[in-house]
Amino acid sequence: MITVDVVTPTRRLVDGVKVDALKVPAYRGELTILPGHTELLTLLNTGVMSFTQDGRERKFAVSFGFLDVRGDKAIVLAETCEEASDIDADRAKAAQKKAEEALAAALTDDKFKKYQLKLQRAVIRQHLSE
């Protein structure tokens, strides 16, 4: 078993949950962390994180952060993280529309990248809320 903690700057979403495997959206693709995994510190990308707890799959929308694996403990430090059951689908749709409009009007590379990430986050949140 792996012990998982998930922390954002504003709250602790998961504290010491025992799981068989943890799937995370790493910077270069999805990673699956199993018991006995080698020590690892990696960047997280925007995407879906998941694990099964007590026979129930839990999914989260994650945007940027870090994963630290040491022994059989995994700590996810995420900029934002929402459990699928907590996502407001209407709010996610509104965020997608707003990001698409901002992308169309973006004149600089920095603004384009910012709204591209917001759009990506909104689409993932909508997918998980369904």
pLDDT tens-place string over residues 48-75? 999 988 888 999 999 889 999 999 999 9
Q: Which CATH number fits the domain that encloses residue 29?
A: 2.60.15.10
Q: Are 3 and 74 in contact (CB under 8 A)?
A: yes
Domain identity same for 73 and 14: yes
97 and 80 in a single domain? The answer is: no
pLDDT of residue 113 exceeding 90, the answer is no
Task: Identify whether residues 99 and 67 lie together within a single domain.
Answer: no
What's the burial of 10, exposed, middle or buried (CB within 10 Å: 0-12/13-18/19+)? exposed
- For the chain, the domain total comes to 2
Which range of residues forms the domain containing residue 91? 87-129
Predicted model pTM: 0.74
Q: Kindly state whether residues 70 and 100 are assigned to the same domain.
A: no
pLDDT digits (tens, 9 = 90+) for 5-31: 999 999 999 999 999 999 999 988 999
SS3 state of residue 23: strand
- The residue-averaged pLDDT of 107-121 equals 73
Q: What is the pLDDT of residue 16?
A: 94
Instruction: State the pairing for strand pair 56-70/29-33.
Output: unpaired
**CATH number of the domain that residue 124 is part of:** 1.20.5
